[in-house]
Amino acid sequence: MVVKAIDPVCGMEVDVAVVKYKAEHGGKTYYFCSQACKREFEKDPNKYIKNSHGGHAICC
């Protein structure tokens, strides 16, 4: 079974079983398609959590 998550920065769908980039915030794990998205999230997590998808295609 493949479990997917949405990168909160760029909106890309990622497979949580193989994703290399993740971060914890507020007791929840967030998954990212790239290190660039993870870094962007870590600068201001609340910006991306509130929007659920920031719509920034900075990595892909």
pLDDT tens-digit readout, 46-59:
999 875 544 444 45
Region of 59 (left: φ > 0; alpha: ψ -120 to 50; beta: rest) is alpha
Q: Residues, the chain, total?
A: 60
Largest CA distance in the chain: 32
Give the tens place of pLDDT for each residue, 20-48: 999 999 999 999 999 999 999 999 999 99
Neighbours of 33 (CB within 10 A): 21
Q: pTM value?
A: 0.81
Q: Alpha helix locations (H) across 1-60?
A: 35-43, 45-51
Q: What is the rounded CA–CA span in Å between residue 8 and residue 5?
A: 9
